[in-house]
Amino acid sequence: MKILLTGATGFLGTRLSEVLADQSDFELTAAVRRPVTLPTARVVQIGGLDATNDWSAAIAGQQVVIHAAARAHVMKDDALDPLAEYRKINVEGTLNLARQAAAAGVGRFVFISSIKVNGEETPKGQPFTADDQPAPEDSYGLSKWEAEQGLLQVASETGMEIVIIRPPLVYGPGVKGNFATLIKLVKKGIPVPLGAVDNLRSLVALDNLVDLIVSCTTHPAAANQIFLVSDGQDLSTTGLLRGVAAAMNLPARLIPVPQGCLIYGAKLLGKEALARRVLSSLQVDISKTESLLGWTPKLTFEEGLARCVEKS
């Protein structure tokens, strides 16, 4: 099977290209914006990811497109109109690629979306499902939802199959952002006031997400479906930090500060958004993914975390 992968040099795309290249059933082409040599794929350089890009050289002869490239979520976005910037790449650029793919005879388009389409948090014990009414709260999540809607319209107009995957926080070797910060804090032995956080959050190991994406390239039941993905083990922030420490054979230096105090302190410091991400719950229900595809996470959280910290 011939597959075109966008975002092949990113955190997810790098690992995905390695896995696809190891399987003899797949012939991989990577679309990249800068000159690069990849041992795992044939490389085609493209002009960009917006609505003006000509994908013909990359799409020719492909059977499946996996679209992992995007304008990523930015914590402190200094764009004058963040939503417009997200839409250029995540909506207009995605739909431009999808329409050209359909016209070229591509049979399936796998889109890596985000759990932010569902929302930012859940009541504890009430996870998001794939069939929930979307409720994105920020520009990034809204752009991903608009892209999803556009893709399903392309599917209805052209017959090209669309598969949408909404991952929560992805962790693995080379992870960045808040997860990398947690690893550094534990490594340095810095006491953290998160020893009494009673939330639940779903995460997904990089290799679990990659495994689901590979399954979605060929599984007949994946056509025109939306899937949520996780490790199937929900953790509190306190439990996550303890897991990171255990994976590195280090003590977890956690101070049990009441959540109410943490929230009050965050408000005083203007860090309410950060406190929300750390203290709130965000759970996902993967029962549809498991039942429809016969898929289960290949790694436990402990196994995924061991791989993550080994190279961090």
What are the residue numbers of the active site? 140
- Alpha carbon 221 to chain centroid, angstroms: 21
Q: Hey, what are 39's tokens?
A: 């041992």
**Do residues 6 and 170 touch, judged by C-beta distance below 8 A?**
no
**Do residues 66 and 16 touch, judged by C-beta distance below 8 A?**
yes
Nearest to 117, CA basis, from 233, 217, 226: 226
- How would you write the chain as a 3-class SS string? CEEEEECCCCHHHHHHHHHHHCCCCCEEEEEECCCCCCCCCEEEECCCCCCCCCCHHHHCCCCEEEECCCCCCCCCCCCCCHHHHHHHHHHHHHHHHHHHHHHCCCCEEEEECCHHHCCCCCCCCCCECCCCCCCCCCHHHHHHHHHHHHHHHHHHHHCCEEEEEECCEEECCCCCHHHHHHHHHHHHCCCECCCCCCCCECEEEHHHHHHHHHHHHHCHHHCCEEEECCCCCCECHHHHHHHHHHHCCCCCCECCCCHHHHHHHHHHCCCHHHHHHHHCCECECCHHHHHHHCCCCCCCHHHHHHHHHHCC
Q: Hey, what are 76's tokens?
A: 């402190």
Pairing of strands 161-166, 169-171: unpaired
* Amino acid identity, position 44: V
